[in-house]
Amino acid sequence: MSTYSVNVSGIAPTTTKEHLNEFFTFCGKITNIEHHEKDATIHFEKSSAAKTALMLNGGTLDGATLTVTSDKEHEDEKHVGNEPVHSIDQSDKPRAGIAAEYLAKGYTLSDTVLQRAIEIDAKNGISTRFLSYITHIDKTIGQKVVGPDQTVSGKVTDTAKAGYEQARALDEQKGITKTATDYYSRALSSAWGEKARAFYTTTSKQALDIHEEAKRISAEQKAASGTTPAAAAAPAPAAPAA
């Protein structure tokens, strides 16, 4: 049994084990949930996921305000090496980004919780694994769309934007942008790529920035489902990684 666990109390009578799993899976991979009416213990695979869950103390699920605590102090995993990272776990993401995903999904997090996410990022920095991942996809898409040794987020001129749109139009024929399948690839490749990169790679932000990111995520989710015109939407996030 994992020792990376948090205790949750104040759970609504209508909340099921499945609801708890859906809510806390944004933090990282869950190994087990012990649910007893108004209380539960959530066990995670990684300590960083449990630390993120503690950030949610005061969050709302099914109309009830949750109290999330732990008997142990959980820390982030240390990542070493500068090799390119082609994928990341949910627990590798910045806490502000995870908070934005919660809001986009329709969950209610107070500005106190959002500020807590910002403070964790500011204190711990953005994980080297996540930064390596962002750098990798930025360069990969940039080379395909803009040119050799270029990054998409660094190219915000009208010429670069037009070039990206042209590349998208040729996608079916040449497969230029087929690798841009996850949220961050599409985000960096969009017209607001520089702003997206700043949000996910710096610790200087406000609660309003998280709300704005949640709006972009929600817009893309609606576009993907056909609810709104895709042309008017922003990049969509991938589902939380296990």
Enclosing H/E stretch for 36: strand 30-36
Looking at residue 135, its pLDDT comes to: 84
Q: Tally the domains of the chain.
A: 2
Nearest CA to 99 among 221, 213, 182, 232? 213
**42 in the same domain as 20:** yes
Enclosing H/E stretch for 14: none
Residue 101 and residue 58 in contact, taking contact as beta carbons nearer than 8 Å: no
Q: Would you say residue 123 lies in a domain?
A: yes
For the cut 50, the answer to whether the pLDDT of residue 183 exceeds it is yes
**141 in the same domain as 32:** no
Q: What is the pLDDT of residues 63-74, one digit of tens each?
A: 999 999 999 889
For the cut 80, the answer to whether the pLDDT of residue 139 exceeds it is no
Q: Would you say residue 209 lies in a domain?
A: yes
Q: Looking only at Cα atoms, what is the longest distance across the chain?
A: 58
Q: What is the pLDDT of residues 184-242, one digit of tens each?
A: 877 877 777 788 889 999 999 999 999 999 998 888 778 767 654 333 333 345 444 43
* Percent with pLDDT over 70 in the chain: 71
Q: In Å, how far from its chain's centre is CA 242?
A: 12
Question: CA dihedral in degrees (72, 45, 101, 238; nearest 10)?
Answer: 170
Q: What is the pLDDT of residues 30-83, one digit of tens each?
A: 999 999 989 999 999 999 999 999 999 999 999 999 999 999 889 887 766 666
**108 in the same domain as 70:** no
For the cut 60, the answer to whether the pLDDT of residue 85 exceeds it is yes
The model scores a pTM over 0.75: yes
**71 in the same domain as 166:** no
Last residue of a domain, one of 75, 96, 120: 75
For the cut 50, the answer to whether the pLDDT of residue 173 exceeds it is no
**120 in the same domain as 216:** yes
Looking at residue 153, its pLDDT comes to: 54
DSSP per-residue letters across 170-212: THHHH-TTTT--SHHHHHHTSTTHHHHHHHHH-S---HHHHHH
For the cut 80, the answer to whether the pLDDT of residue 127 exceeds it is yes
Structural domain boundaries, residue 59: 1-75
Q: Would you say residue 242 lies in a domain?
A: no
Residue 70 and residue 81 in contact, taking contact as beta carbons nearer than 8 Å: no
Last residue of a domain, one of 13, 46, 75: 75
Looking at residue 186, its pLDDT comes to: 76
**223 in the same domain as 135:** yes
Residues 6+ apart with CB under 8 A from 220: 183, 186, 233, 234, 235, 236, 237
**200 in the same domain as 91:** yes
Q: Residue 145: which pLDDT band, with cuts at 50, 70 and 90?
A: low
Q: What is the pLDDT of residues 92-126, one digit of tens each?
A: 999 999 999 999 999 999 999 999 999 999 999 99
